[in-house]
Each structure stands twice: as C-alpha cells, then as structure tokens.
C-alpha cells in the first residue's frame, strides 16, 4: 500500500494510502493515478489532487450547474481544461446545450482518465455535441472565433500550464468570446490555503467583467474542503426559483447542487470576503508552499 499525499502549507499535509496505477511524466506535467480505499481512483497532477471517483460530483456540479442554471437557454459552452471529462458530462446534462467544446492542453490526462477513471466522464466523450481539442486554452480563447454562452475554467492550479488562466488578459479575452448575457466561471482555489490564488482570480476578473461573485462548495479531498468558484458576467442573475424551474424542465438529477445554492452558496463566510477584499488576502494560515517559496 503506497502512502502519498499533498503538502498543503508548511507543517500540514494530506496523506492518502493506496496502490499506484500510473506514474507518468507527460509533455506538460507529472500524472499519477492511485486506487484509494475510500475515494476510489484518484488523479494527481504535479503532486496536487485533481479529482477522485467518489467526490468529483461535488466539484463538477458546482462548477457547471451554478453558471448554467443562471442562464435561460445555454446552447454553446466552452470548457478550458477538464481533461477527466467530469465537467463535459455535467454540461451535456443540460438539453439546451447544442455544442460543448473542451480544450485540454494535455492529451495524456484525458487518455489515462478514460482508461482508468471512466466513471467520471461517463459517455460524454462519445456525445455528438462534444468537441474535444488538445490545445492551450489560453491561445484558443485569445485567437478569437465564435462566441459562447458560458466559458468554464476547469483548470489545475495557477502553476505550470494553468498559470496564464488567471490573468487579466485571459479574462478580457474570455469576456470578448461571450454572447450577450454570457457568463464565465472558474475554479479559484481554497479560500483557506490558496488565498493569493483566490484574491488574484477575483481581482483580475473584476478588471474584465461588470459583475463578479465568489461562491463555495465542499470537496472532501481538496485542501481544507472548502473550495471557491468565481462567477463573472455583465449582470449575473442568480434566482433560486428560476433555477428550480430550469432544473425540473432540464431533468437535472444532482447529488450536491440544489436550486437554493444559487443564492446560498454565495453567502460566503467573512474570511472569503477578507480574501477578496482590495487589501486582502489575510494569509490566515501561513502561506502555501508555492507562496512560501515566492515570499
Ligand atoms: N478539478 C481540478 C482542480 O480544481 O484542481 C482540475 C481538474 S482538470 C484535470 C485540470 C486540467 O487543466 C488538467 O488536465 C490540465 O492539463 C488542464 N490545463 C492546465 N492548463 C491548461 C491550459 N492552459 N489549457 C488547457 N488545459 C489546461
């Protein structure tokens, strides 16, 4: 039984046990997949937990359903990253979606997840509405083309290939690729342990969008459990009763998301407000290793 894990901040780490199924260095990152007795198969990139078979539904439902339920009729959706296919699967649960383009930089992540963690994507990769491209999402968004009703950033942390997905230039380029009333939603890290990441995602998004809000969900295998998402658009509409009607009409069977979260998930604790405040972040619990190295 392997013992592996993730250093969260100096002196505090997450430890997992289980058999290692794959350990491969791709052109972009270190890819490791493990078998874990409690969370099923678990993907790590560059030593950071990305997704597990048993709690992926929480992250993916919150990244997808909150933005798509805020839209009356989402038809064209762009996913940046999301190599495991969990975001693509939830997007395709919305019947109004006619095209879901997924732009993943690392083909090996998708190939290995399809082979070893197929339950996460289900049959999303075979859906005729899905278009999967292996390319850099930053260039794809920057280089123009057709507009989307929603752009979902399911990226790894802002290190390595994911760094450029948290910049003002990227958010401005993404804003230009949205239809009128379109929204962008990005995973923005742990409000406890990645306070610089969340502060940067939020403050940069406010330079590109008129209405930017942060909401949270709880993903057990992510650092600290509480995870943040940054939703942005010209004028967001977050109405639980409209979402309830849409969920019924779209027959969305969710295990974590519920219509009340269209408002409830945005009632974030004071610490999140402190992190995104102009004079934030407060660095409540020490700096993360990356921040520590930079400090
Ligand atoms: N849920 C995870 C999280 O919150 O950390 C993210 C999971 S998903 C596997 C992250 C994906 O983003 C990876 O497969 C990675 O290769 C991809 N990625 C990172 N930078 C990218 C870029 N610039 N363009 C496209 N995909 C990128």
What is the distance in A from the centroid of ligand 1 to the CA of 248? 31
Pocket test residue of 47, 81, 216 for ligand 1, highest count of atoms within 8 A of CB: 81
**293: Cα within 13 Å, side-chain hemisphere:** 3
Query: Is 154 a residue of the active site?
Result: yes
Cβ partners under 8 Å of residue 143, min gap 6? none
Closest Cα partner for 51 from 219, 229, 186?
A: 219
Report CA(67)–ligand 1 centroid distance (Å): 19
40: left (phi over 0), alpha (psi -120 to 50) or beta: left
Residue nearest to atom 19 of ligand 1 (CA): 162
Q: Which residue has the higher pLDDT, 162 or 153?
A: 153
Name the packing angle between helices 195-205 and 168-175 (round to 10°): 40
How far does the centroid of ligand 1 lie from the alpha carbon of residue 105, in Å? 8
The encoded tokens of residue 154 equal: 């399911």
The string of pLDDT tens digits covering residues 247-261 is 999 999 999 999 999
Neighbouring residues of 30: CB distance < 8 A, sequence distance ≥ 6: 23, 24, 44, 45, 46, 47
What is the rounded average pLDDT for all residues in the chain? 94
Q: Is the pLDDT of residue 292 over 60?
A: no
For residue 264, what pLDDT is reported? 97
Residue nearest atom 27 of ligand 1, based on CA coordinates: 81
Mean pLDDT of the 111-124 span: 98
Per-residue confidence at 295, pLDDT binned at 50, 70, 90? low
Question: Which ligand 1 atom is at minimum distance from the Cα of 165?
Answer: 23
- At 10-48, the pLDDT tens digits run 888 999 999 999 999 999 999 999 999 999 999 999 999
**Of 201 and 288, which is predicted with more confidence?**
201
pLDDT band at 234 (very low <50, low <70, confident <90, very high): very high
**pLDDT > 70 fraction of the chain, expressed in percent and rounded:** 96
Query: What pLDDT does residue 107 have?
Result: 98
What spacing in Å lies between the alpha carbon of 38 and ligand 1's midpoint?
Answer: 24
Segment among 54-68, 74-88, 109-123, 145-159 with least mean pLDDT: 145-159
Q: Which of 32, 55, 84, 154 is catalytic?
A: 154
Half-sphere exposure of residue 275: CA atoms within 13 angstroms, side-chain side: 29
């Amino acid at each position: 039984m392997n013992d592996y894990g993730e250093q969260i901040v100096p002196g505090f780490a997450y430890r997992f046990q289980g058999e290692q199924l794959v350990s491969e260095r791709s052109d972009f990152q270190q890819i490791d997949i493990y078998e874990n007795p409690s969370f099923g198969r678990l993907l790590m990139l560059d030593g950071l937990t990305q997704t597990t078979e048993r709690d992926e539904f929480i992250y993916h439902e919150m990244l997808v359903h909150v933005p798509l339920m805020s839209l009356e009729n989402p038809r064209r959706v762009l996913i940046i990253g999301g190599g495991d296919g969990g975001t693509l699967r939830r997007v395709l649960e919305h019947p109004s979606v006619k095209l879901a383009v997924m732009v993943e930089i690392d083909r090996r992540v998708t190939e290995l997840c399809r082979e070893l963690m197929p339950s996460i994507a289900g049959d999303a990769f075979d859906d005729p509405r899905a278009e999967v491209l292996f390319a850099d999402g930053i260039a794809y968004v920057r280089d123009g083309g057709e507009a989307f009703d929603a752009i979902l950033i399911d990226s790894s942390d802002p290190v390595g290939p994911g760094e450029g997905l948290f910049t003002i230039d990227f958010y401005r380029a993404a804003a230009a690729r949205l239809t009128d009333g379109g929204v962008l939603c990005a995973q923005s890290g742990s409000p406890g342990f990645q306070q610089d990441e969340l502060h940067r995602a939020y403050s940069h998004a406010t330079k590109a969008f008129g209405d930017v809000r942060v909401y949270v969900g709880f993903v057990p295998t992510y650092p600290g459990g509480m995870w943040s998402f940054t939703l942005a658009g010209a004028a967001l509409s977050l109405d639980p009763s409209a979402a309830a009607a849409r969920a019924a009409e779209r027959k969305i069977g969710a295990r974590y998301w519920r219509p009340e979260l269209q408002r409830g998930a945005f009632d974030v604790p004071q610490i999140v407000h402190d992190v995104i405040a102009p004079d934030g972040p407060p660095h409540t619990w020490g700096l993360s290793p990356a921040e520590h190295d930079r400090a």
